[in-house]
Each structure stands twice: as structure tokens, then as C-alpha cells.
Structure 1
Amino acid sequence: MRATIDADRLRERFDAFNEIGATERGGVDRPSLSPENREARDRLVEWFEAADLAVTVDEMGNLFGRRPGSDDSLAPVLLGSHVDSQYNGGRYDGVLGVLGALEVVEALNDAGTGTERPVEVVAWSNEEGVRFQPDMLGSGVFAGVFDVEYAHGREDKEGNRFGDELERIGYAGTAPCEPRDLHCYLELHVEQGPYLDEGDLSIGVVEGVYGFSWANVAFEGQADHAGPTPMHLRHDALVATSDVVQSVRRIAGTGGADLVGTVGSIDAHPNSINVIPERVEFTLDFRSYDDGVVEAAVDRARREVEWAAEREDVEWEFEEIMRIDAAPFADECIEAVERAARSVVGEDDYTRIVSGAGHDASYLNEICPTGMIFVPSVGGISHVEEEYTEWEDVVRGVEVLLGAVLEKADE
């Protein structure tokens, strides 16, 4: 019997899963290690066990379900993504990769199809990084980029430690979180950009992921009354910030064909209508598939911060908090995904593509051959409640994942 995806089962699980943390506008709110995130993990464990997967939780809360191979000593094929969300985020981001991976295993079970290698499904911890920074923390520790002590010590805005919150929700596992022998890693994800949707294409065969830099920036000026203080005596931290925000758009427009730049978070103090802002803290995010372009953008931004501080006569701080190099994926995984895509949708309904968003696959790529499959995001919209992918494209993406797994797991 040939292994096939059960689209109805997948849809039923997808809808049921997204009742956890559901928002009024059709999205989900399941930030890392929240009560909703715990409930999502509990549901996954229940479904993993029902699919006869051996469940393991490591010391970062990464959740694994293992299906044995005919030679269980061989390195496994690992597939999955994450189930934590942005605050008021979308229903597809991350979840699709985990539930799609589970459906692949269910399809193998239904058909009685064995594989030479074990197949494991994973849900990584803290991919989004909205509550605990940096993002991709669970896969980062697994890949040896961060150590466990560093990760457990990360704090949210209320001062809650990652390690303590793992204990609180009951997902501080005992298995080591460290690199181990993997045959390959495959991740299905929504594109989170417009190119597949604009091209009316069903599948993106991902060649690699952009490199990026994150920085925290602050200006420290002087608070004063907004009425009596004349303009020439002001030291306004928000004015300096506005200069940098404008410069980020200019840098992105001139620094490279694929360079993007964003100021995504701003906190002004004291944040009062009639007080000149004394301190502003904000973030910078630059991305490109060319690491040299990212480096140049960060250097230009640092100079813009210094010049803005001089103009407004305020103090400044600039700290790069994360730098990830561009990650070209392994040819053998790209080609396996492409063969599966050609089989599922034909020659004219897929394209090779590069990801502008970071993914757990970026870190897995450092320790094993890695590949990704994209399905379209309607309107290119993601990280918001309006995020949407046509169900037919979801099913095609999972079918491609199944095809790639069948090839890789029998190598």
C-alpha cells in the first residue's frame, strides 16, 4: 500500500490545535512557555503517543517523537518546526511544520511502510524569540551555538527565567540538548513572503536562509517640560531616534538588491504627552543572503546613530545582540525536495527560493544536511492574525515532505 496524506485528518488536527490560544481575529497567542504553549505541548505528546512514537523531552524543552527504522542504529531523519507563536500571531507559522511532520508519520503507519532509518518529529522551543531573546533558542542549544546555562538564564520583561518557566510548565526534560548524529533535517514552513503567491506557485524549494543582524540601540537625552523648554535647548532622544529610523530605510534601499532593514520595537521614556523624551530604546534588524552586505549595513547604521546623537547632543549605546550568517542548504536535501516537488505538483508549479526569515533549519544546517519546503503565504502576510495559506497548498506541501522523507529515510 502506497503511503498517502490524509488531508481530512490533517485539517481536523490543524483546526483543533489552533483552538489553543485562539484569538478573536482568527490568529493564535501561544508565546514560549506560556500556559497556552504548555497546553499545545500536552496535545502534541498525546498525538505522538497515539501514533506510537517514543516521546523524549530534552533539557531545553525540545519535544521529540521517534518512529523506529528497520536498522534503528542508523542516524535518523529529523523533521519538524515549532509551536510557539508571536503575540497575536498566525495559525500557520511553525505549527504547519510540526503537524505536517506528524501526518507524514501517520501516513507511513497507515500504509504499513517501514523505513531503513528512524524518522523523528520535533517541536523546537522558543523559535519566535518574542518572550525570551534570542530567537531559535532550543535549536540553537541543540546545534551547539548556545550552552544550556546561557539559555536557561534568559529573562522575559518581567524577569522570569527561561529555565524556571520550563520547570513551571512541566517541560524541563532530562535528555541532553546537544548535537547528535542526524542523517538530515527537513522543515516545512509557510513562506512568510510574497513571491510564491505573486507567482501563483504552490511550492518553494528553499536553497538557503538569509543572514541577519539584530542590535539594541539607545539614546539618552534630558527630560523637560514640553511647553516652557525652547527648541534650541532640547536634548530629545526621540528626535535622534527618528533620524535613525529614516536612515534604516535609506540603507536598505541602497545597500544591496536583497537587503532589508527594520526598526521593529521602540520604547520611549517617560512616554508622557507633555514631557520631552529622555531615553529611547529601539531595535535594528538587517537581513541579506550576502553576509558582507549585512556587515556593511550594520556599520552604516552605527555611524548614523553616532551622527544623530551628535546633532541632538545626547548619549548613545549600540549593541549587536545577534549575528547569523547566511545558510546555504545541502545540495542533496535541496535536490530531494525538488524531486518530491516535481512529482507532486509538476515542473511548472514550484520554484527554488531563498528564505528572508530565520528558521530552526538555520542552526540545524550547521550540524547536518538540511532542507526546507515553503508553501505560499497569501499576500505575503505573516506574524499577524491575518496570516493565511490555501488548504490545497498546505496539503501539497505535506505531500512533498512525505516524498522527501521516503527518499532520505531509505538511504
Structure 2
Amino acid sequence: MAASAAPPSSATGARAYGTTPRINGTRLVESIHYTSETWGAAHRYGEDHTETGMARLSLDDDDAAVRRWLAKEAEALGCTVTVDQIGNMFLVRGGENTDVPPTFMGSHLDTQATGGRYDGILGVLAGLEALRTIHEQGVKTKGPIGLVNWTNEEGARFPMITMASGVWAGVTSLEAAWNCKETPAAAARYGHSDPVTVKEELQRIGFLGTTPATPAAMPMAAHFELHIEQGPILEAEDRPVGVVEGAQGYAWYEVTVRGKDAHAGTTPLHRRRDALLAAAQMIVASNGVAHAESASTDKKVGVVTAGVVSALPGTPNTIPHTASFTLDIRHPEPARLQAMVAACKTQFADIGAKGGVSVDWACLSDNAPAVFHPDCVAAVEAAAEEEVGQHTTASGATITGHRRMWSGAGHDSCNVNKHYPAGMVFTRTKDGLSHTPVEYCSPEDCIKGAQVLLGAVLRFDAKRDI
């Protein structure tokens, strides 16, 4: 029984849920490639028309054009279109009750400068296809159903990731986001002698809205996001769908090690205070902390990455007096995240004492794990069971086609989760690759993910007590 065929005439109380209406999978895939090839295609890597990456940076002309296309498509479905002060687009189709917050789907249409066709784009266009399905099949929903295009999720042009959902959630101030300038590389790309700000570009492309970018101005019943996994787990297990329980917390640090510069040829090993050598030992130790944490449970979680390393004075024949490196520590459990930080600090102090160097830590960013709402996770899991509960692998085995998992990356849903229930659906990513032109999700997996997204949204709506 489709959601539109639910028997109660009353709008109050939960409804029984039957079978999710089928989306038009061919149209979804065509929409992905049409919008990608028309607005932002770049970095060809094959002969087929689909074999390019993307360079649709936030608030550039291609982003503006695809935004206008999205608004037009949504209006044709009877949706209202609201743009807030940071350019977020809220497309809402009414339900039987119009005076209650919508259940939203959402993601982003901006990409990396050398990005692919699926990161963010799949989530928005799957949401649009869900709205098309609801409209064309006459699905009656208890509350409104909406779609969000969040501005500047990537931070590739304006260096502030998940910027606009962060403004909406109160994590980032509107003024800070408005005044954020494009990177020098972006300014050169667009021929700007002086980098422009977010507010200037919002004004230029006509997406500086008047609606406050706040939960009070645009409340939600829930927010569901379809996204490529951007990692190797689902593909390795040959499962099409991931049911996301939340996103790992992370702590970013810059670690500075100070020793003593000296001549590389005349200073014996036992008299050296080599800052770079000590830093290298610390990086190796941090990797050991991550491996120990990952091995401690069957979930295999907890990672540490040293991303940027520098040393002074930076000459071949001088022992470095100062070395610094960034450390990205992630874990889905706050207590274990802090335990990993503490273990690194203890081991680094020991290395410093043995090497005659000092160690200083500066916190660059600290973000707690996002644990998604159990009702949203349950809705996604039920929809996944309906769509891929019995899955035949490439080897011919029959397995459950979905699994619960954590996101290693941050997403707009993590900001929404601070105020309203949120949930996510993952699809397989070929070779685990993302933020690259060759990023790929098969048409079949795009369709399965979109079907699960629609099923989760309709299940959540059916259970609303309105």
C-alpha cells in the first residue's frame, strides 16, 4: 500500500506504512548528468559524455544557473521556494497539514575545483526526484515535504566548510560567513584582482535572500540526506546502502616541536635536539594510537592523520630547530576521542623528553560527534530493508544489502542535527574515491539510494502525530 493509499481520513496519529512508490530512476540519472554537463563539467578522463568531473564552485555562474534550474523544476511541482540570507534554498511542497514544519531532504550543489558528479549533487537531485514522485503519483503526506540546497558545503572557493548550514544552525555567525573571502586561487580563476566576499557574490547572482538563516525562520520536522559514502567500506562488503548512525567527532591540532639548530655534519647524534626527528617519531606514535584504538573494538573506528608538516630553518645541512605538524583525530564516541588525544599527548611528551625538545599543542577545531536521531535512523533502516534487504553479491552470495555505519566526514546534516532530528543514507563509492573527477556511483546504486531516501522520508511522515 503506497503512502497515498493510507486509509485514515483523520490527519492525527501515526499511519500504517506499506510500499514506497517507485521513483523514475532513468530520469534521476539523466538529471545528474544533464546538470553536471551543462553547469560545471571539467577534467575529462574518458570518452563517454559522462566521463568528466566537476568544477562548480559555490556562487559562481554555474552554481547560479543550476540553482535557477532547481527552483524552476520545484515550482513546476507546486513547491514554494524560499531563499535565506546566506543563500540556502528551501523548496517545500505542502501536505495535508500546512501549518507544521516540513520533513526535509537536503544536500549541496557546489563541488570541489577538481570534484566529481555525485558528492552533494546526488543528494539534491534525489530529493528533487522524490518530490517529482510524490507529485506525479499523488502521494498524500501528512506534513509538507521539502528539499534544501545548502550553500557552500565544500568550502572550496570560500574556505569555510558546511558554511551555510552552520550559519543556519548558529555554529557560524552570518557576518563571518558574509565577509568570508574567496581564496587567492579562486580569485585568479575568476579574474578578480581583489578576492570577493560571500555577500558580494550572493548579491551578484541574485541569491541574497531576506529570510533569516535560523531554525526559527525555517523549522524542520527532520532532515534526511543521501550522500555517497566517500570511503571504501560498502564497496568492500558489496552492499549498496549504508544506514548512517552519525558522524565522527574530530579534534584538529597544530603541534609545534622546538629543539636546537646545529650543523648537520659536526653534531654527534647523542648531542642533537632535532625537532623534525622528534616530530616524525610523534607522527608514528599517533598512528600507533589510532591502530590500538581501532583494534580495541569490532567497529574498527578511530583514526589519526598528520596532514601538514613543516620544519625550520629548512636547509639540507642544518638540524631543524622547529618543526610543526597538524593532527586530525577522529572517533564517533566523545570519551574515546578525548582518550586518543590524551594518549597522543602522553606519548609526545615522552618523545620530547628523550629528544631534548619541547612540545606545544594548539587546538584549531574541536567538533563533537553527531549522533543521528533514532527515529531517523530507524526510518532509513526500514527503507533500506525494503529496497535491498536481500542482496545478491558479485560472487553470487545472498546477504543483507545494507549495514549500519558511521560517517568519517562532516556533512550539512550534522549541523541540522544540533536542532532537529537528522538521518543519512550512504551509497557505494567506486574505489572509495571522492573529491576527484573520477568519483563514481553506479546508476543502479544512485537509484537504490534515492529509493531509500524517499522511503525514509515517507515513513517518518507517516508516523508524525499531527
Fold-level match, TM-score > 0.5? yes
**Among candidates 345, 370, 384, match of residue 341 of structure 1:** 384
Separation of aligned partners in 2, 1:271 and 1:40:
46
**Among candidates 19, 22, 47, match of residue 4 of structure 1:** 22
CA contact (8 A) 1:205 1:374 kept: yes
Question: What are the Cα deviations for residues 100-152 of structure 1, in whole angstroms up to 9, with x where unaligned?
Answer: 00110011121122322111111112223344454222112212222222333
Q: What does residue 245 of structure 1 align with?
A: 283
Q: 1:6-85 maps to which residues of 2 (within 5 A)?
A: 6-19=24-37, 20-25=40-45, 26-85=52-111
Separation of aligned partners in 1, 2:403 and 2:409:
17
Q: 1:101-120 maps to which residues of 2 (within 5 A)?
A: 101-120=127-146
Quote how far apart the aligned CAs of 1:184 are: 0.9
Quote how far apart the aligned CAs of 1:76 are: 0.4
**Among candidates 231, 234, 258, match of residue 196 of structure 1:** 234
Q: What does residue 97 of structure 1 align with?
A: 123
**CA, structure 1 residues 313+290, in 2 after alignment: closer, same or farther (shift >3 Å)?**
same
CA contact (8 A) 1:203 1:376 kept: yes
Separation of aligned partners in 2, 1:352 and 1:264:
28
Unmatched tracts of structure 2, length 5 or more: 5-20, 46-51, 185-194, 296-300, 391-399
Question: What are the Cα deviations for residues 183-227 of structure 1, in whole angstroms up to 9, with x where unaligned?
Answer: 111111111222221221121122222111123445678999x99
Q: What does residue 363 of structure 1 align with?
A: 415
Task: Write the letter of the residue equivalent to 2:84.
Answer: D
CA contact (8 A) 2:159 2:183 kept: no
**Among candidates 109, 112, 121, match of residue 86 of structure 1:** 112
- Matched residue of 2:148: which SS? strand
- Matched residue of 1:23: which SS? strand
Separation of aligned partners in 2, 1:281 and 1:49:
52
Quote how far apart the aligned CAs of 1:260 are: 0.6
TM-score (ref. length: structure 1): 0.86
Quote how far apart the aligned CAs of 1:293 are: 1.9
Q: What does residue 385 of structure 1 align with?
A: 437
**CA, structure 1 residues 99+277, in 2 after alignment: closer, same or farther (shift >3 Å)?**
farther
Question: What are the Cα deviations for residues 275-328 of structure 1, in whole angstroms up to 9, with x where unaligned?
Answer: 987876643211111212211223344556667777888886633232222222
**CA, structure 1 residues 156+407, in 2 after alignment: closer, same or farther (shift >3 Å)?**
same
Q: 1:145-224 maps to which residues of 2 (within 5 A)?
A: 145-158=171-184, 161-180=197-216, 181-218=219-256
2:402 maps to 1:350: yes
- Matched residue of 2:43: which SS? coil
**CA, structure 1 residues 251+116, in 2 after alignment: closer, same or farther (shift >3 Å)?**
same
Task: Write the letter of the residue equivalent to 1:330.
Answer: H
Task: Write the letter of the residue equivalent to 1:93.
Answer: D
CA contact (8 A) 1:134 1:322 kept: no
Separation of aligned partners in 2, 1:204 and 1:40:
28
**Among candidates 279, 287, 295, match of residue 330 of structure 2:** 287
Separation of aligned partners in 2, 1:399 and 1:333:
15
Separation of aligned partners in 2, 1:80 and 1:284:
31
Quote how far apart the aligned CAs of 1:240 are: 5.3
CA contact (8 A) 1:260 1:286 kept: yes
- Matched residue of 1:403: which SS? helix
Separation of aligned partners in 2, 1:247 and 1:175:
49
Quote how far apart the aligned CAs of 1:259 are: 0.7
CA contact (8 A) 2:264 2:319 kept: no
CA contact (8 A) 2:29 2:446 kept: no
Bigger mean CA deviation after superposition, 321-330 or 1-10: 1-10
CA contact (8 A) 1:256 1:293 kept: no
Task: Write the letter of the residue equivalent to 1:179.
Answer: P
TM-score (ref. length: structure 2): 0.77
CA contact (8 A) 1:214 1:286 kept: yes
- Matched residue of 1:18: which SS? helix
CA contact (8 A) 1:61 1:125 kept: yes
Separation of aligned partners in 1, 2:352 and 2:182:
29
Bigger mean CA deviation after superposition, 234-243 or 390-399: 234-243
**CA, structure 1 residues 160+352, in 2 after alignment: closer, same or farther (shift >3 Å)?**
same
Quote how far apart the aligned CAs of 1:33 are: 3.6
Task: Write the letter of the residue equivalent to 2:425.
Answer: I
Quote how far apart the aligned CAs of 1:15 are: 0.6
CA contact (8 A) 1:218 1:318 kept: yes
Quote how far apart the aligned CAs of 1:96 are: 0.8
Task: Write the letter of the residue equivalent to 1:80.
Answer: G
CA contact (8 A) 2:110 2:154 kept: yes
- Matched residue of 2:448: which SS? helix
Quote how far apart the aligned CAs of 1:32 are: 3.3
Figure out how many residues of one structure are paired with residues of the other and give that number. 410
Quote how far apart the aligned CAs of 1:89 are: 2.3
**CA, structure 1 residues 75+126, in 2 after alignment: closer, same or farther (shift >3 Å)?**
same
Separation of aligned partners in 1, 2:345 and 2:157:
26
Q: What does residue 453 of structure 2 align with?
A: 401
